[in-house]
Structure 1
Amino acid sequence: MDRSWVRGKLFSPEYMDGVKQFMSFVKGKFSDNVEILCPCSRCLNQKYLAQALVKKHILMNGMDNSYTRWIHHGEDLNVEVIEHVPAGIVHCSHNWSTDGIGVTEEDSNDIDPLEAFLGDLHTAAAQEDREVGENEDGDTESCEQDTFFRIAMKEAKCMLYPGCTKFSRFLFVVKLLHMKSLYRISNSAFTAILKLLAEAFPEYNTLPKSYNEAKSILKELGLGYESIHVCQNNCVLFRNEFAKFDNCPICSLSRWKDPERKKIPVKVLRHFPLVPRLKRMFATKEASEQAQWHKLKRQPSEKEMSHPADGEAWQDFDREYPDFADDARNLRLGLATDGFNPFSEKNTKYSMWPVFVVPYNLPPWACMQESNFMMALLIPGPTCPGKDFDLFLEPLIDDLLELWNGVRTYDAITRKTFKLRAAVLWCIHDYPALSTLSGRTTKGYFACIHCDKHPLSYGLRSKIGYVGQFHQTTGSCSYPVYVEKKLREDEYKDKELDAVDLFKMCHYSNKKKGYTPTVQSAITQMENQLAAPTEDGQPKSATQVVSAVLHQNTKTNHFLRNVGNQVAKRRTTLQNVQAELEVEKRTNSELQLIVKNQREEMDGLKNQVQGTEQARIKDQEENRKKQAELEKKIELLLSQNGQS
């Protein structure tokens, strides 16, 4: 059986057919409700999952490229399988996938992905050289500085050793580092391997002598990170004007653990430059096409949200900045952060905070791939940065400001440079991290972001409670501003709105295109009370109706006060007292009538029960008589049989 599809390209016809073949094989061995081992490249036959979820994992994560004999799913060991990749199928394991590096099926059959990547870089470097030569300003500084493309081509042309044509130094080192990460080789073991290879290779080889030297090659290409020293009290980052300071200009503490030797800093922030990585997205044709997928290939649907571009935030941003939206290559980014303990259970008090940047221009199946997550910052511990989080974000903010203004980037599709811009549309985090990232409080009496400065929170012994069904809306101090803005619109400009109309206007949900069930129930109660007739024939006040309904549903409400409407207090007069007494008398008489009717019904039910019980006793007596007669007849028959 042909199993070469497990090393094929994801979502290719051959791969999709192979997944169907595997699931058909599984259904022949197991019933539909039986969980099976998941053979995707992440689970590796270590987890039992539902069959539908296993299929989804294989489609999204790829099949384990070493699992060609399906022994964990009931296949015999003696079955012959074809494991080689025939011509016409791109040979790429899911670790060395061609996704995102510009190698298509039309471009190559047996070409190494890195070689194809370097071919695109060669074209980019040649184009950049031409543009620099045509530069009329004669900017000598930009000509003297090596760009990413020139450095990449310089490394690609560096021979591993004299006469080696199969590997360049760059290609060989990248594959070694990939193996180190894949098989979790320690730094010291990797250095020992490099030394052994350097001795085994011919003389004058260019192989790096240590792991740090190998990393420096990647750092020159913009694949490394920048170490930024931080004050022990998180006062400043020792960069820009403070780069050469040995002591903090605010608290005067030393940046070094040993102030005399000045070798080991107290705290280090790792900054992974964002601009070079975003520019590399357009260095290959396939990656550049994916970055424009949201505008060129996406099929929008009115009732479905299949991509972030279908969301209101994306569309509102496009309306606000049409010049940004005109170029499909401009990137919309998401910012994600959360704390984690790198030492697992060994030290539960330690916390580090990575900050990831996610490009949302990519297709939906690529947006959430881990390979497309870009770590921008690694904030050191041992505690949460808290209110000093903005200090650690300074390098990333500088990158984002540079990207907002635009950076010159080469596009492999057009083979020309353009001005790449990027903007952050979303921040992804849990509720406690909202306080860390934005600075507003998310605990205590002001934890609700909707109630804001007018919370419906109360101290309840050992905790704080939020009382009332409308605490997320009726307590908001933003109502006066919202009402004033709404009254300027043409829809409400010439209308006189009462308290009920204001309540409807303020609680209408644009997201749901209507009211929530709780709000709709309150509106129904208000309308019913307004429509109910009164004793004196005078219509009820809308303000009093709203106040009464909100008082039933909330312990304390500020809606009427916030919209500038107050309930008029009734004066206590003799007529009012007499009217209230008449209402109470009428209510008491009605209650007495209801109680009398209920008693009569209970008496009727009691008589029915007694009659039923008597009938049951009578039936039991008749059954006993019949049983006794039957037993006599049986005894008579038995005695006659015995005599005969």
Structure 2
Amino acid sequence: MDRSWMQKNRLSEEYKKGVLEFLKFAETNLPESNGRFHCPCAKCVNIAPLEAHIVWEHLGVNGICQNYTKWIWHGELSDAPKASPKEEFDVEMGDRLEDMIRDIGQDSFQRANIHDTLCNDSKIPLYPNCKNFTRLSAVLRLFNLKAINSWTDKSFTQLLELLKEMLPEENMLPNRAYEAKKILCPMGIEYKKIHACPNDCILYWRDNEEKEKCPKCMTSRYKKKSDDEGCDVTTKGPPAKVLWYLPIIPRFKRLFGNLNDAKNIRWHAEERKCDGKIRHPADSLQWKKVDTLFPDFGIEPRNLRLGLSTDGMNPYGSLSSNHSSWSVLLIIYNLSPWLCMKRKHVMLSMMISGPKQPGNDIDVYLSPLIDDLRKLWDEGIDVFDSFSNETFKLRAMLFCTINDFPAYGNLSGYKVKGHKACPICEKDTCYHQLEKGKKTVYLGHRRFLNHNHPYRRLKKAFNGYQEYKVAPKVLTGEEVYHRVRNISVSFGKKQKRLQVIIYGRRVQCSLTFHIGPVLM
């Protein structure tokens, strides 16, 4: 059916005839509607069904929604494959068991035992003669409710204990949150605990995995235990610092295993409105430049463009700054604006434990994530797309970062304190130090305005002077590389040392002392 009338003026005859044909189309394809249809005007946007004459009035006054090109609310069949309500419910609850088990079984021969375990759990009924749930599907449903409602492990354990008492005696439901997690871990829903040097020098990972002391600062990998006399014991204890890493590659595979998510990933290429206005990162010059520089990457709409965000937080909920744990989040910009910032699609990739923030040494902790991102960019991974029922080579790139200014300094390694803190203006930064509070403020932002902008002539509203300077030239990527290529970086917190003079000799020692009995 012709839809050109949707772009016409609402007062034209073509638009009125088009509305009449649209209503006739709805009456023909929805005979059971009894004269009530969803109103597709620009204000109602198919929220609720209305009488046909009210729909006629709304379309004449408000106009039709320009994005409503497929009239699925008025009887037109969609070309996209649809899942039944039961299938959509299962996908949302993460119950695509056979697909996930198949992917796990194809990873390597070493996972054969895991594959057998999952198959057994997916076949064992929750209790004798139970037809609706298996042991694995029940745990998956419960864990989904735990994630949606933000239940703690303690409350989840109490729920499992109650359900186990309510079910028949021979049920297979675990009664502890820890036991339930052990069932799901073989499916790839796991995390990695990587030990770290307490001074942020290295990760005990790969070449350093077997070491028990940091090769830089010689600090023990484990927390030292003390005996009754206060002396350190060399036996192993808990790790001094831990990085919690949640691998992103298996999570991307499960993302495309969900029918709805696999379809939403294509939104920026298939459903986005392209009218020259910036509503989405795909409308930006940076997105288009990536498509131009790397056409093999840009031609595949399913390739992921990710945003990385990190900042410190206090997990204990108090306003004290004595403890700071840093979370690293990934945002998928292929999704529509109303989905990409939803909690479901914001991926927690790692948690850097405290109590001290990593500072500029955060690069040490980002190395596992960077390795996975490099693999996704250079090689790609084979992923099954449940929407198109095919396997393709998935690639991903880090599109941008989202931080406040202090976190930006830690993530980029740029100095963001002092009089020359602006990364754009650099040595030409316009700063002013307040007389009373001795705080440094930056007031040179008017230089970025047009030459004839009226704000440039205002004095009292700003720093008391007119602005005649022009905006500094932005450095290119090659210029930035030539500036930083010879910089040598040494990670790790330096221990404060105290100078002590003993018998005329100057000796440096750490600030840690053991106070014991004095021998006379």
Q: Would you call these one fold, judging by a TM-score over 0.5?
A: yes
What displacement does 1:404 show?
0.8
What displacement does 1:416 show?
2.3
Cross-structure match for 1:25: none
Instruction: Give the AA of the match of 1:350.
Output: H
2:294 & 2:355 partners in 1: Cα distance?
41
CA gap of 1:216–1:322, structure 2 versus 1, over 3 A, is same
What secondary structure does 1:294 align onto? helix
Give per-residue Cα distances to partners, 1:468-524, cap 9 Å, x unaligned: 676x57xxxxxxxxxxxxxxxxxxxxxxxxxxxxxxxxxxx8xxxx657269879xx
What secondary structure does 1:396 align onto? helix
1:517 corresponds to 2:491: no
- 8 Å contact from structure 1 (residues 125, 150) kept in 2: no
What displacement does 1:180 show?
4.3
1:128 & 1:383 partners in 2: Cα distance?
38
2:456 & 2:163 partners in 1: Cα distance?
75
How many aligned positions are there?
A: 386
2:114 & 2:454 partners in 1: Cα distance?
58
Cross-structure match for 1:17: 48
- More strand per residue: 1 or 2? 2
1:326 & 1:184 partners in 2: Cα distance?
39
What secondary structure does 2:307 align onto? strand
Q: CA RMSD in A?
A: 3.9
Cross-structure match for 1:295: 269
What secondary structure does 1:281 align onto? helix
- 8 Å contact from structure 2 (residues 266, 301) kept in 1: yes
2:272 & 2:357 partners in 1: Cα distance?
40
Instruction: Give the AA of the match of 2:428.
Output: H
Cross-structure match for 1:463: 439
- 8 Å contact from structure 2 (residues 280, 337) kept in 1: yes
Please point out which of 190, 194, 219 is paired with 1:228. 194
Cross-structure match for 2:370: 397
Cross-structure match for 1:410: 384
CA gap of 1:441–1:206, structure 2 versus 1, over 3 A, is same
Give per-residue Cα distances to partners, 1:590-616, cap 9 Å, x unaligned: xxxxxxxxxxxxxxxxxxxxxxxxxxx
Please point out which of 205, 210, 213 is paired with 1:239. 205
Cross-structure match for 2:476: none
What displacement does 1:413 show?
2.6
CA gap of 1:336–1:207, structure 2 versus 1, over 3 A, is same
What displacement does 1:188 show?
4.2
What secondary structure does 1:336 align onto? strand
Instruction: Give the AA of the match of 1:286.
Output: N
Please point out which of 398, 408, 415 is paired with 1:424. 398
Give per-residue Cα distances to partners, 1:219-272, cap 9 Å, x unaligned: 222222211111111111111111222221211111212364534212111111
What secondary structure does 1:306 align onto? coil
Cross-structure match for 1:529: none
1:155 & 1:398 partners in 2: Cα distance?
33
Give per-residue Cα distances to partners, 1:552-577, cap 9 Å, x unaligned: 84699999xxxxxxxxxxxxxxxxxx
CA gap of 1:420–1:557, structure 2 versus 1, over 3 A, is closer
The runs of 5 or more residues in structure 1 that have no matched partner are 1-12, 22-87, 89-103, 133-140, 474-508, 523-551, 560-644
Q: Which has the higher relative contact order, 1 or 2, with Cα contacts under 8 A spaced 6 or more apart?
A: 2
CA gap of 1:517–1:459, structure 2 versus 1, over 3 A, is same
1:157 corresponds to 2:133: no
Give per-residue Cα distances to partners, 1:388-447, cap 9 Å, x unaligned: 111111111111111112011111133222110000111011112110111111121111
- 8 Å contact from structure 1 (residues 234, 391) kept in 2: yes
Percent of pairs with identical residues: 34
What displacement does 1:166 show?
1.0
What secondary structure does 2:393 align onto? strand
TM-score, structure 1 as length reference: 0.53
1:386 corresponds to 2:359: yes
Give per-residue Cα distances to partners, 1:191-225, cap 9 Å, x unaligned: 35545655665566432242111112222222222
What secondary structure does 1:175 align onto? helix
Cross-structure match for 1:310: 283
- 8 Å contact from structure 1 (residues 120, 412) kept in 2: no
In our comparison, the structure showing a higher alpha carbon Rg is 1
What secondary structure does 1:217 align onto? helix
Cross-structure match for 1:367: 340
Please point out which of 334, 349, 354 is paired with 2:327. 354
Cross-structure match for 1:266: 240
CA gap of 1:261–1:253, structure 2 versus 1, over 3 A, is same
- 8 Å contact from structure 2 (residues 382, 394) kept in 1: yes
CA gap of 1:317–1:520, structure 2 versus 1, over 3 A, is farther
Q: For residues 583-598 of structure 1, what are the structure 2 equivalents within 5 Å?
A: none
TM-score, structure 2 as length reference: 0.64
What displacement does 1:465 show?
4.9
What secondary structure does 1:393 align onto? helix
What secondary structure does 1:219 align onto? helix
- 8 Å contact from structure 1 (residues 124, 415) kept in 2: no
CA gap of 1:292–1:190, structure 2 versus 1, over 3 A, is closer
- 8 Å contact from structure 1 (residues 121, 283) kept in 2: no
Instruction: Give the AA of the match of 2:85.
Output: N
